[in-house]
């Protein structure tokens, strides 16, 4: 008789002084749908293994690996085997982290990920995570996140002053994204998106997927989650959040949210309230 997969358990909390969200989770009967984050995501795999799909292909992150992606990078993940995996995650704005560390704006840069194998960086990451989970003194927390940030920026972020060229298709995709963001509670057609972007339907579809790593429909689903996150942070009731963010009903909202965040809207709301 096959051994059942372990149940999923996840805890999330918010650290106001760092402006970051923390997650500690054990994932068994769970898989992340394709999604993005509005901040960088750092996930230390503390047990098992996860298969991750990104625009560049698929790869496996195992215990001790630090999975690192910048904001707006689409990705999905599922267990490699029936044992599942566990992780500790920090969602943090890299620009804000850079300002804290260097007291100046962050230049154009890219994370050298998505899998970072650096034992010292992993150790400092774990120290940051544990110090916030255990409510350590602010001085100790500061020391840990400064140690982590310094090694991250010195070893694993490529600095570049070269700005990417913005062509017609890039501007069209920006217009398409703005159009979708303003209509989260509506069902829109590809023809409407194309009209707003200024490109024919097939061309905007292809350009949109190339620029964002998601189809327009996938982007709209993710945009609804982002809107829901913002509304929850502002203290709106969950039923109102579901309606304003464009979900069909509360059950649809809960399923979609958990599939992308790993926790329910209620658990996320409690974490934000606890930090207030």
pLDDT of residue 163: 40
Alpha carbon distance 85, 57 (integer Å): 20
pLDDT of residue 38: 92
Q: Which residues fall within 8 angstroms of residue 187, CB to CB, at 6 or more apart?
A: none
Q: Which residues fall within 8 angstroms of residue 156, CB to CB, at 6 or more apart?
A: 68, 111, 112, 113, 116, 118, 121
H helical segments located in 92-215: 94-102, 119-133, 138-155, 168-181, 190-197, 201-212
Task: Give every residue of the chain whose pLDDT is below 70, as ranges.
Answer: 1-4, 103, 108, 159-166
pLDDT of residue 103: 66
H helical segments located in the chain: 94-102, 119-133, 138-155, 168-181, 190-197, 201-212, 216-233, 238-244, 250-261, 265-275
Give the number of other CB atoms < 10 A from CB of residue 235: 11
Q: With 0-12 CB in 10 A as exposed, 13-18 as middle and 19+ as buried, what is 226?
A: middle
Alpha carbon distance 3, 25 (integer Å): 20
Domains of the chain listed by start with CATH number: 9-156 (2.60.120.280), 170-213 (1.10.10.60), 222-274 (1.10.10.60)
Alpha carbon distance 8, 50 (integer Å): 14
Phi, psi of 157 (to 5 degrees): -130, 120
pLDDT of residue 166: 45
pLDDT of residue 146: 81
Alpha carbon distance 257, 226 (integer Å): 10
Alpha carbon distance 129, 182 (integer Å): 36
CB 178 within 8 A of CB 217: no
pLDDT of residue 161: 38
Task: Encode pLDDT of 238-273 as tens digits.
Answer: 999 999 999 989 999 999 999 999 999 999 999 998
Residue with tokens 């707006």: 72
Alpha carbon distance 36, 177 (integer Å): 14
């Amino acid at each position: 008789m096959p051994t059942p997969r372990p149940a999923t358990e996840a805890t999330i909390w918010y650290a106001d002084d760092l402006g970051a969200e923390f997650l500690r989770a054990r994932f068994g009967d769970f898989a992340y749908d394709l999604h993005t984050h509005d901040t960088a995501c750092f996930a230390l795999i503390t047990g098992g293994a996860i298969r991750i799909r990104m625009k560049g292909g698929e790869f496996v992150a195992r215990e001790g690996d630090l999975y690192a992606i910048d904001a707006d990078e689409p990705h999905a993940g599922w267990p490699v085997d029936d044992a599942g995996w566990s992780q500790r995650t920090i969602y943090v704005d890299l620009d804000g982290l850079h300002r804290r560390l260097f007291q100046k704006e962050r230049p154009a840069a890219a994370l050298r990920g998505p899998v970072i194998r650096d034992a010292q960086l992993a150790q400092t990451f774990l120290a940051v995570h544990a110090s916030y989970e255990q409510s350590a003194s602010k001085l100790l927390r500061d020391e840990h996140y400064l140690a982590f940030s310094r090694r991250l920026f010195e070893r694993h972020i490529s600095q570049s002053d070269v700005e990417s060229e913005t062509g017609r298709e890039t501007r069209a995709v920006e217009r398409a994204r703005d159009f979708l963001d303003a209509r989260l509670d509506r069902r829109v057609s590809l023809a409407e998106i194309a009209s707003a972007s200024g490109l024919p339907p097939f061309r905007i579809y292809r350009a949109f997927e190339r620029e964002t790593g998601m189809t327009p429909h996938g982007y709209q689903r993710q945009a609804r989650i982002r809107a829901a996150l913002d509304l929850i942070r502002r203290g709106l009731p969950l039923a109102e959040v579901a309606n304003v963010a464009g979900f069909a009903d509360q059950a649809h909202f809960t399923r979609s949210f958990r599939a992308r965040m790993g926790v329910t809207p209620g658990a996320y709301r409690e974490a934000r309230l606890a930090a207030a």
